Amino acid sequence: MENEHLMSKAPNPNTTLSEDKKAGKHADLAFHYWHTINYFIGLIKSSELKAGLILSFYGIILNFIYRNTNTILDQFNNQIPVYLLLGLWLLCTMISIYYSIRTFIPRIESNYEDNVFFFGDIISKYGDIKAFSKTFYNTSVNKEQRYDQMGQQIYINAKIAATKFKNVNLSLRFLAIGLILLLILVVSYVIIVIA
């Protein structure tokens, strides 16, 4: 058994050194493509995790404010600047929540070629299970076609990641503005309570 394992790792005596190098280059190239696809999938997951954390933070803040609304509003008797700040804070919060939720919304574009690595095309573009299996095999055997399809998936995943991170960044910006407004409100509240 051990000898069989060692023999399987031995170079094939029927291949030349240049063929072995080509096989190694293609293995490196395939690894590079798959690693790049997985890198962008990781970025997509990371952006969604950040958006989820932002929404969780808002859940805590909004729950605290909801429970103390009457106490807070009683301290600010008809003070228009405070109500303006509250309105601006609420607007920033809603915009930030909107962009966080938008991060989770899938955006599938259909203006690309059919791709054997895309789940939507697998089900809708290649017929039944046998037809897809045959197409997938033919694509996998044809190196140029395989790398072309993988390259397209890299581009699409990069585009998805860029859109999601754009939404997360906008959400974070409005979160920061809202926190500044909230800090001003807290300082105003403390000054009114002390005075």
- Percentage of the residues of the chain whose pLDDT score is greater than 70: 81
To the nearest 10 degrees (0 to 180), the angle between helices 143-194 and 17-67 is 20
Tell me if 130 is assigned to some domain.
Answer: no
Q: How many domains does the chain have?
A: 1
Cα–Cα distance, 152 to 144 (Å, whole number): 12
- What's 78's DSSP letter? T
Which residues form the domain of 35? 23-53+77-110+141-194
Tell me if 33 is assigned to some domain.
Answer: yes
pLDDT tens digits, one per residue of 127-157: 999 999 999 999 999 999 999 999 999 999 9
Which amino acid type is present at position 51?
A
Q: What are phi and psi of 69, to 5 degrees?
A: -60, -50
Q: How far is CA 98 from the centre of its chain?
A: 16
pLDDT tens digits, one per residue of 162-192: 999 999 999 999 999 999 998 998 887 777 7
Cα–Cα distance, 55 to 61 (Å, whole number): 10
